[in-house]
């Protein structure tokens, strides 16, 4: 189980901020990506969108689906398909464990952020369980209450 650890040489390229709003994020994993040359160049320029992306485990491989990596202009004819499925590089034990959790307990696998670590593209994925509407309202009310408390403390101090 590889957890995202230290921050040396890490540049965050894209974050999925909706993920924590729509899901309870439980366990996180770090995965590598199998990419084309034009894709890594596009990632380095920050042209990535993870909002609609998800991960599916099929035939013993984890695949990143619906992640948009924009085309790289200088690549011209050798460019990649922006929404193509991309293979995630994980240990076999991790893939089996993720597949088991998704099948048995009703979890889904959501990409939370993409970053460059020592020049290599990495993806942080999380086991997630969907939030109900009342859970989202509860989270918003809690955040508003905390913001109000900080505001009041700032006025007094």
150 in a structural domain: no
Tell me what the pLDDT averaged over the chain comes to: 85
CATH number at residue 73: 2.40.280.10
DSSP 8-state assignment for residue 52: T
Among the ranges given (14-18, 80-84, 95-99, 153-157), the one the predictor scored with the smallest mean pLDDT: 153-157
101 in a structural domain: yes
Answer for the pair 127, 26: CB distance below 8 angstroms, yes or no: yes
105 in a structural domain: yes
**Which tokens is 125 given?**
């994925």
Alpha helices in 1-157 (DSSP H): 18-22, 37-44, 92-105, 133-156
125 in a structural domain: yes
Per-residue pLDDT at 81: 81
Q: Is 157 exposed, middle or buried (0-12, 13-18, 19+ CB in 10 A)?
A: exposed
Please state, for a pLDDT cut of 70, what percent of the chain lies above it: 94
When divided into structural domains, the chain yields a total of 1
140 in a structural domain: no
| pLDDT reading at 77 higher than 90 | no
156 in a structural domain: no
Answer for the pair 97, 29: CB distance below 8 angstroms, yes or no: no
Neighbouring residues of 90: CB distance < 8 A, sequence distance ≥ 6 = 29, 31, 32, 62, 98
Please state, for a pLDDT cut of 90, what percent of the chain lies above it: 32
Beta bridge partners of 120: 117
Mean pLDDT of 20-39: 88
Per-residue pLDDT at 1: 44
| pLDDT reading at 30 higher than 90 | yes
In three-state secondary structure terms, 31 is strand
Top pLDDT among 21 and 116 is at 116
| pLDDT reading at 60 higher than 90 | no
* pLDDT tens-digit map of 78-115: 777 878 899 999 999 999 999 999 988 878 999 999 99
Range of the domain at 72: 10-132
88 in a structural domain: yes
In three-state secondary structure terms, 30 is strand
In three-state secondary structure terms, 120 is strand
């Amino acid at each position: 189980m590889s957890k995202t650890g230290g921050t040396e040489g890490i540049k965050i390229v894209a974050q999925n901020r909706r993920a924590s709003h729509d899901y309870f994020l439980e366990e996180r994993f770090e995965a590598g990506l199998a990419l084309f040359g034009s894709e890594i160049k596009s990632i380095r320029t920050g042209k990535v969108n993870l909002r609609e992306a998800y991960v599916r485990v099929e035939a013993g491989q984890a695949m990143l689906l619906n992640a948009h990596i924009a085309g790289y202009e200088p690549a011209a004819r050798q460019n990649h398909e922006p929404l193509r499925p991309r293979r995630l590089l994980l240990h076999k034990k991790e893939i089996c464990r993720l597949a088991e959790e998704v099948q048995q307990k009703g979890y889904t696998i959501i990409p939370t952020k993409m970053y460059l670590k020592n020049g290599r593209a990495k993806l942080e994925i999380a086991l997630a369980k969907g939030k109900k509407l009342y859970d989202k309202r509860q989270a918003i009310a809690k955040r508003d209450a905390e913001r109000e408390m900080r505001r009041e403390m700032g006025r007094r101090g």
